[in-house]
Amino acid sequence: MSDAVRLLDALARRGERVATAESLTGGLLAAEIVAVPGASNAFSGGVVAYSTELKHSIVGVDADLLAERGAVDADVACQLADRVRLVCAVDGRPADVGIATTGVAGPDPQDGHAPGTVFVGIASARGIRSVRLELGGDRESIRRATVAAALALALADFDSDAE
């Protein structure tokens, strides 16, 4: 069973929903989620905020933070994950879990970060956190590895609740 299936099952059992904010993955995370039959039971939607400006204007990431540190940053990932829950509210109810991806897929560095530098943000009632990843490979493999890591990290919140 894939992590996307397991995550959606865990969310549906709790009556919870997830939303995504994506930069370097460009919609791959949302696509992986909606590939699961019945995803609409737990997936509210997502935002592809590829440009730094959209991270602020659509998702609501602090403009000063973006100007100071750029988009490839742990705090940016946290704000993306947290604020996309409100952006993707359904009937006035924010999503329970937000997952965000930001980083450098390559081939060129960005904001002083090498390709493969990625931050995944996870926000839920269980807290807000980001994880830095250092991934290798080409652009496509970095993007796919980011999606796999994002799903695994979101799922880990549910696995830790079961302990």
Q: What are phi and psi of 73, to 5 degrees?
A: -160, 145
Question: Taking the chain (163 residues) in consecutive chunks of 10 residues, what is each chunk's mean pLDDT?
Answer: 97 97 98 98 98 98 98 98 98 98 97 97 97 98 98 87 51
Taking the whole predicted model, whether its pTM rises above 0.85 is answered as yes
* Cα atoms found within 13 Å of the Cα of residue 81, Cβ hemisphere only: 31
Q: What angle do CA 58, 60, 61 make, to 5 degrees?
A: 120
What integer pLDDT is reported at residue 160 of this predicted model? 63
Helix extents (H) in the chain: 3-14, 28-34, 52-57, 63-69, 74-87, 139-162
